[in-house]
Chains A and B, each alone.
Chain A
Amino acid sequence: MALKGFAGFAIRKVGAACITVFAIVCANFVIFRLVPGDPLRMMFKDPRVSAEQMQLVRERFGLDKPLGEQFLHYLRELAHGNLGISFWQKRPALDVIADRVPQTLLLIVTALIIAVILGTILGAIAGWKMGTRTDSVILTIALSLYSIPAFCMGIILMLIFAFQLSIFPLGGISTAASGFTGFEYWKDVAWHMFLPALCVVFWYGGEYVLLTRSAMVDALGQDYIITARAKGLKESAILKNHALRNALLPVVTITGVNLAFAVAGIIEVETVFSWPGIGRLVYDAVMKRDYPVLQATFLVFAVAIVLANLVVDLIYGYIDPRIKVGGEE
């Protein structure tokens, strides 16, 4: 390696991410063309669509050209930010997605921050008290919450708090035609967001409990803890300055990797609560068989995950010198 240190590390990581993005772009092309049968027939199931009309559609979208030419066309359009036209809304798929991004970010960022904080604290407590009753209670609850599919959790919460108790709305992001402005409006949004966010917190927080607990157990078994004890440090000081600090390292790394996991939760929770974000868009696109939007959401999710991983890798490589050394082997 000619390049040393962080610059070289960063360039390699960015290069790898570019290759992955290109592979995703190719996969996205291939999936919709390798299917057995005629995808156009799948889209236009109506038998009244005649062979001539099908041929016209094929020519209109360039589907009669050889695959190689189609692929180049696809890449060219992609480079111009054109991901196709939504069948359903008759406007660019990317615009349809862009409209949904703020709502999704609002929900997921709020919920993830709460989940990470709560999950880490509870996980640290469980790990610190390993083997006690507190530990086994936290562990069992966390494992259950983590394994319950997010959409089931959503339905359970909806059943209790929206149907039976009627203290939270059934779905949506704000009360329709309420005319709320300013603070009133945001209060309304928070009220609507409570159940979907709680759902994400339960399920994502459960995973953080498990992660932090095992990292904590790991850290507590290290020699430096014995040294700290031998020095006669207070238990609280050992917990704070020695165990927790080291246990948090692996927890931070896993955050980037876990985004793929978060995407699944977003789709399920937004669908259950009709939250107008990208996740709900995926469901709507499935129901309307809106293939261009479906394809575009997949691309957006996949590329977002690659980029998020890249950012985490770079930050981590910058903070922890051992990683750079490891990467240069």
Chain B
Amino acid sequence: MTKLLHGLSSVKGFVMLLWTNKMGRFGLIIFAVFAVIAIFAPFLHTVDPSATGSCENMLVPPCAQFWFGTDDLARDIWSQVIYGSRISLLVGFVAAGLTILVGTLVGIIAGFYGGKIEEVLMRIVDFFMMLPQLPLMIILAAVLGPSIWNIIFVVSVVSWPTTARVVRSQVLSIRERAFIEASRCIGASDSLLMFGEIFPNVVPIIFAQSVLIVTEAIYAEAVLAFLGLGDPTTVSWGMMLHFAFESGVMSRTPNWIVPPVASIVVLIIGFTFLGTAVSDVLKPGYRETRGL
């Protein structure tokens, strides 16, 4: 399974493997659609999403010029939804990258060295896992101030411990295998053992974990923005909902609420299904039962 993830050809192989799974296929399609939308946003009948318009263009219902109408500042809702996908995916992937980096490092070090180091690191992990995540993210975001990078930081702060714990338990079993002993005998250093020998073997579990964290980060960005902790200068789905709620006219403007809600829900369900599929296909014996 590890070999599967080396190089580009193995990524293709892994995607093919996910394609054999019903939920995996569904998740991949949704992810692909949103990725295309995010990349080609400027070409999809959009205008500057944060550009405000004139008074007569405030809260117009959907029409040929504004496909989803406009909000109370006469901003084009269609453009906001399209550009919002960029923020969601950006936060999702950058936060997942940071989380995986820190979580994997802590997990490998704790699992490899054991003893006091492990004790201390795992106590910190346990403590973080005990804290209620959303309230912690809220106070951190409130104190740090509204910016998209603070949101990414806040999401990483609350999600690295899970990764660390998962990676550590995997490292504990790998550490005892014969090939580690063999490398040690020929004089491999600790860092070579950790990153040259153990790391490749935890890649599958990291991969499964990162899909989960991308999902969580997308959710976290949306909810923090909705609660008024987002960056008011960037356009995101959560921000749109926040403005709609604060405007006091949302009962009459479903065209303002439905698009961002639908986008959040579809993207998150897509990633959740993808996550379920990844952990399914990584289970030993999956390929055999499918006759692959």
Contact = CB atoms under 8 A, between A and B. Distances in A.
A144 B132 contact: no
B145 interface: yes
Interface in B220-263: 222-223, 226-229, 241, 245, 251, 254, 257-258, 261
A151 B273 CA distance: 20
B251 A298 contact: no
B135 A149 contact: no
Contact of B144 (A20, A35, A294, A309): A35
Given A24-B131, A163-B251, A260-B132, A268 B223 contact: yes
Task: Choose among B133, B215, B269 the residue with the greatest number of A CB atoms under 10 Å from its CB.
Answer: B269
A137 interface: no
A152 B135 contact: no
A244 interface: no
A267 B134 contact: yes
A306 B127 CA distance: 10
Contact of A155 (B261, B269, B272): B261
A297 interface: yes
A267 B135 contact: yes
B228 A298 contact: no
Contacts of A109: none
Task: Choose among A149, A156, A260 the residue with the greatest number of B CB atoms under 10 Å from its CB.
Answer: A149
A329 to B, nearest CB: 15
B143 A39 contact: yes
Contact of B143 (A20, A31, A272): A31
A151 B223 contact: yes
Interface string B136-150: 101110111100000
Given A151-B226, A155-B257, A264 B143 contact: no
Contact of A305 (B130, B145, B265, B276): B130
Interface in A300-325: 301-302, 305-306, 309
Contact of A283 (B145, B222, B228, B251): B228
B134 A149 contact: no
A289 B142 contact: yes
Contact of B133 (A156, A264, A282, A297): A264
Contacts of B130: 20, 24, 260, 302, 305-306, 309
Contacts of B254: 159, 163-164
Contacts of A271: 226-227
The 3 closest A-B pairs by CB, nearest first: A147-B272, A264-B134, A260-B132
6 contacts: A149-B265, A155-B257, A264-B132, A271-B226, A282-B135, A298-B139
Interface of A: 20, 23-24, 27, 31-32, 35-36, 39, 42, 143-144, 146-149, 151-152, 155-156, 159, 162-164, 170, 260, 263-264, 267-268, 271-272, 282-283, 286-287, 289, 291, 294-295, 297-298, 301-302, 305-306, 309
Given A27-B131, A152-B265, A163-B251, 17 more contacts: A32-B143, A147-B272, A148-B268, A149-B223, A151-B241, A156-B265, A260-B131, A260-B133, A264-B223, A271-B226, A283-B228, A286-B138, A286-B142, A289-B142, A291-B143, A295-B139, A305-B132
